[in-house]
Amino acid sequence: MSDQPEFDPTDARPQASRTDPEVLRTKLEAWLRARPDVADDAVVQNLQVPDGNGMSSETMLFELAHGGQVEHLVARVAPTLGSVPVFPDYDMGMQFHVMQEVVGAVPVPAVRWLEEDTAAVGSAFFVMDRVEGRVPPDVMPYNFGMDSWVYDASPEEQQHLQERSVEVLAALHALPVERFSFLDDTPEGADAAERSALRRHVDATRGFYEWVVADQQGSPLIERAFDWLEDNWPADEGETVLSWGDSRIGNMMFDGFDPVAVLDWEMASLGPREVDLAWMVFLHRFFEEVAWKMELPGMRHFMHAPDVVAHYEQVTGHTVQNFEWHTTYAALRHAAIMYRVAVRSITFGQGEWPADVDDLIMHRAALEQLLDGTYEP
């Protein structure tokens, strides 16, 4: 394996060209005034498009002044094709309806309005209430120890955050899966194998990867990982539940160390419980490996796989299965996403193609170790 390039977290987050905030404000104000539950005197004020977490949907914070009151709201706006989006499509309606269905089970902002017609502001979007809290930072990552409230917390506070975050997954997975039938993409007339939620999940990941490399050189390592999944496919795939998809603490907002908002539902689907659980563990491990490479201490005691699995099993009574397989799958999924993010960086002039394309995968070593059987949780 060739030496991997030095990591700069800002390189992974190229800033696409955005509509002028004042243009957005004017369009959003006009759209809101047409809502039957919004007063005719509505004014959108203090609109902000913050930097920070998230590389896909654009977040707009704003105040809606109408009828003698001021409401603090958030709009989630799908990216345009010109912004070189991370994913090929953004189903804002799906995200809106998932959030409606999980209310009461986990803390989510109340969703207000959905607009799937792109004519209103240039992209589909939905509006939700703003929740006050703090989010574990991605830039710089929360485990780097650079102005990070998570890093600076006591071990007891970190454990509390970890356990409450795992309990969010447990609560989601306890919801009746029938409530999320709109996520079921089983083809008509499908056989038993095609009806498998895990099979459809992996096939969707493969489809995403093929979209990513359609006009680029493919990744031999990612393709080898897909082969490994097939060769080691679980005999018992486990129960099908609602899968949050991007289940990591960077997509949660906290009051103190308790979750007050679960955000970013664009990767929601149906699948085994372990899809979310392994993703939560592996995404922390990803940040840890970056910290180690930069000779930072990191948070090696945090989100440790045996601890996370044990607490999940204690809370749910479910015996976690095939965790190594799902960890490898999480590493593959993240590799495909990071490959796309690297393409965005190159497109925006913030990077260049390496001699070995697999060096675009920042956690290349971890994925190789998983495939070789030398990975240590």
Q: Which range, of 69-83, 149-163, 354-368, averages the lowest pLDDT?
A: 69-83
Q: Which tokens hold the place of 65?
A: 């002044």
How would residue 61 be classed by pLDDT, with cut points 50, 70 and 90?
Answer: very high
Is residue 51 scored above 80 in pLDDT? no
> Phi and psi (nearest 5°) for 329?
-65, -40
Task: Measure the CA–CA gap between 254 and 137, rounded to whole angstroms.
Answer: 12
3-state secondary structure at position 46: strand
Q: Residue 1, class by beta-carbon neighbours within 10 Å (0-12 exposed, 13-18 middle, 19+ buried)?
A: exposed
Instruction: Strands of the chain (E only): list them.
Output: 43-48, 58-66, 69-77, 111-115, 125-129, 240-243, 252-255, 258-262, 269-272
The predicted pLDDT at position 273 comes to 98
Is residue 3 scored above 90 in pLDDT? no
CATH of the domain spanning 142-372, picked from 2.30.30.90, 3.90.1200.10, 3.40.50.1860, 3.10.105.10: 3.90.1200.10
Q: Which residues, 6+ apart, have CB-to-CB distance to 153 below 8 Å?
A: 161, 257
Q: Which residues, 6+ apart, have CB-to-CB distance to 123 below 8 Å?
A: 58, 77, 78, 79, 80
Say which amino acid occupies 6: E
Residue count (the chain): 377
DSSP per residue over 310-362, as a string? Answer: HHHHHHH------HHHHHHHHHHHHHHHHHHHHHHHHHTTS----SSGGGG-T
The domain limits of the chain are: 9-129, 142-372
Query: Is pLDDT larger for residue 343 or for residue 124?
Result: 124
Q: What is the DSSP letter of 43?
A: E
Q: What is the DSSP letter of 106?
A: B
pLDDT per residue as tens digits for the range 4-42: 444 444 444 444 445 678 888 999 999 999 999 999 899
- Domain 9-129 is found in CATH 3.30.200.20: yes
How would residue 343 be classed by pLDDT, with cut points 50, 70 and 90?
Answer: confident
Parallel, antiparallel, or unpaired for β 43-48 and 252-255?
unpaired
| Cα–Cα nearest to 54, from 114, 107, 95, 102 | 95
C-beta separation of 95 from 56 below 8 A: no
The predicted pLDDT at position 165 comes to 98
The H-or-E segment that residue 96 falls in is: helix 92-102
pLDDT per residue as tens digits for the range 191-229: 766 789 999 999 999 999 999 999 888 999 999 999 999
User: Which positions are catalytic?
Assistant: 246
- Enter the pTM of the model: 0.92
DSSP per residue over 206-238, as a string? Answer: HHHHHHHTTTS---HHHHHHHHHHHHT--SS--
How would residue 158 be classed by pLDDT, with cut points 50, 70 and 90?
Answer: very high
